[in-house]
């Protein structure tokens, strides 16, 4: 047993440094195995991932494994606006396997201060390019640090999950003061939604308005329907100024030609004209 133990220790003292030396000289394998969680993604394909990696896959065979920084590559991929997540694995033969989750957009944002872009469920942006177009809800308005586009994501999530709301709403806009304005498919009015609180309750009040009020008052009666206040529906008439009620005056009843000689004439009528008209009376 003592002899076997000595031999084993001696072999380890020889094999471990030899293995370390061989590993330090081991090189990468050419090529990269790109695996997309959604192969049908319109935002990214295998070639895009290689471009985002920023490495020459044909020259990987000359790169030592010890000098290859996998963590830095993963950070670069995760920072890409085309990918939601990425994981890189080096196999025992020196080959690289790259698993990536392409961007899944939930809305397209048309910001008044910058070019349009898409956002995913976490608010990550991807620049809009001509080579692809995704049919997702549209956000229009001014978005900044105080009122970012991702604040609308709970509202978009509800609209996407509710078939009635999804069929009802065409566009979501945000005003500079943060008010959310919904543009419905029913043309002729807009909906002042306020913020993203009590979303289900607000849509329930909207359905009540469309079911009971609009058919009675007329679909073209109101230009704005507000559900921003709790437990209320406030509608603004399209024609805000009512026509004045015609109330007859003394002048209308007696006629301007029946003025008394001592009564001063109105400023816009010449006294000479009044006298001339009175002389012609029968």
Give the side-chain half-sphere CA count within 13 A for 148.
10
Q: Does domain 26-102 have CATH number 3.10.20.310?
A: yes
Q: What CATH number is given for 105-237 in this structure?
A: 3.40.50.11690
pLDDT, position 61: 65
pTM: 0.57
Report how far residue 19's alpha carbon sits from residue 25's, in angstroms, rounded to the nearest whole number.
10
Query: Taking 70 as the threshold, does the pLDDT of residue 261 lie above it?
Result: no
* 79: helix, strand or coil: coil
Between 282 and 117, the more confident residue is 117
How many CB atoms sit inside 10 A of residue 248's CB? 7
DSSP secondary structure string, 203-255? HHHHHHIIIIIHHHH-TTSEEEEE--STT--EEEESS-SPPPP----HHHHH-
- Given a contact cutoff of 8 angstroms between Cβ atoms, the answer to whether 188 and 223 are in contact is yes
Burial class (CB in 10 A: 0-12, 13-18, 19+), 87: middle
100 and 35 Cβ atoms separated by less than 8 Å: yes
Q: What is the pLDDT of residues 104-147, one digit of tens each?
A: 888 888 888 888 888 887 778 888 877 777 777 788 888 888 88
Every domain of the chain and the residues it spans: 26-102, 105-237, 250-279
């Amino acid at each position: 047993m003592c002899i076997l133990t000595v031999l084993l220790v001696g072999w380890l003292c020889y094999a471990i440094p030899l293995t370390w030396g061989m590993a330090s000289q081991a090189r990468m394998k050419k090529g990269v195995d790109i695996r997309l969680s959604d192969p049908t993604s319109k935002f990214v394909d295998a070639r895009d991932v290689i471009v985002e990696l920023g490495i020459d896959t044909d020259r990987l065979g000359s790169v030592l494994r010890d000098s290859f920084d996998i963590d830095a590559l993963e950070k670069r991929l995760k920072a890409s606006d085309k990918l939601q997540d990425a994981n890189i694995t080096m196999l025992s033969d020196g080959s690289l396997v790259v698993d990536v989750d392409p961007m899944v957009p939930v809305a397209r944002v048309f910001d008044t201060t910058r070019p349009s872009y898409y956002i995913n469920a976490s608010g990550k942006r991807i620049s809009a390019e001509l080579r692809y177009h995704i049919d997702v809800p549209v956000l229009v308005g001014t978005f900044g640090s105080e009122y970012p586009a991702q604040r609308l994501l709970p509202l978009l999530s509800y609209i996407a999950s509710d078939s009635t709301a999804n069929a009802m709403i065409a566009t979501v806009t945000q005003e500079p003061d943060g008010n959310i304005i919904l543009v419905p498919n029913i043309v002729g009015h807009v909906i002042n939604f306020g913020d993203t609180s009590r979303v289900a309750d607000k849509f329930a009040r909207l359905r009540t308005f469309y079911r009971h009020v609009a058919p009675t008052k007329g679909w073209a009666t109101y230009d704005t329907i507000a559900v921003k206040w709790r437990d209320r529906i406030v509608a603004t008439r399209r024609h805000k100024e009512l026509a004045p009620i015609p109330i007859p005056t003394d002048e209308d009843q007696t006629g301007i030609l029946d003025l008394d000689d001592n009564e001063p004439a109105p400023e816009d009528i010449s006294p000479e004209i009044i006298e001339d008209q009175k002389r012609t009376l029968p």
